[in-house]
Amino acid sequence: MNSKVKIWGLGIGPGDPELITLKARKILQNVDVIAYPALDGGESLVRSIAEPHFIKKQEEIKISIPMLVDRYPAQDIYDAAALKVSMAVEAGKSVAILCEGDPFFYGSFMYLFVRLTEKYLVEVVPGVTSLAACSSALALPLAARNDVISVIPGPLDEKALEEKLLATNVAAIIKVGRHLGKIKRILRRIGVVDNAHYIERASMDNQNIRRLSELEDDSAPYFSMIIVRLSGEIVEL
């Protein structure tokens, strides 16, 4: 551990506790304070992933995050969380902020990073992303040769989502949730629904993998992804 660093953003990986990196584990076991996001009124997924690696009783900062479309109430929560982290650092304590997957790949940590990095030295420790975990669980190579792969958020409006799908070879559609019905409708319309693979809770004990065409539901868990090949190279190794 760098003795000058007092704050770390730790990528904890996609869900399987064994997919945490050695570096993240070492830092986790040596810091004074562990901070982590949790859904408002609920448990923390990222804490449950990291908990098997805890070796001592440490101070914890729970950051309750509401799942809101309007970003501004959440900004107040990140302001308050950054203040709590700052107070711990000013008291001479080291802090690890946990994040599912990788901190800078759609991770909530980035909102704390921009609030803390101007005043403190913050080190980001990368983690295994959900994209990598989904590809491996599906035994589905993501891209070959000159393929273009796009990560597309499911909440995009229908027109924008279709345009982005048509502009890539391989798409990973994230944040599926209540947008599943819309996504299926678009993929049927452009003729690639049979190429689409659905996976939820990748690498966890309750992982679920299906062909998208087999799904009858129009909603899915937040931690779900659809990977679809639209064009490009077929992998020939």
Residue that terminates a domain, selected from 87, 108, 128: 128
**CATH (domain of 204):** 3.30.950.10
In the chain, how many domains are there? Answer: 2
Give the model's confidence band at 75: pLDDT under 50 very low, under 70 low, under 90 confident, else very high. confident
The answer as to whether 234 is a domain residue is no
Residue 184 burial (CB count, 10 A): 21
pTM: 0.90
- What are the DSSP calls for 85-117, one per residue? HHHHHHTT--EEEEESB-TTSS-THHHHHHHHT
In this predicted structure, the answer to whether residue 189 has a pLDDT above a threshold of 60 is yes
* Full domain range(s) for residue 117: 7-128
The answer as to whether 42 is a domain residue is yes
The answer as to whether 139 is a domain residue is yes
Q: What is the pLDDT of residue 219?
A: 87
Residue that terminates a domain, selected from 108, 128, 148: 128
* Same-domain status, 14 and 87: yes
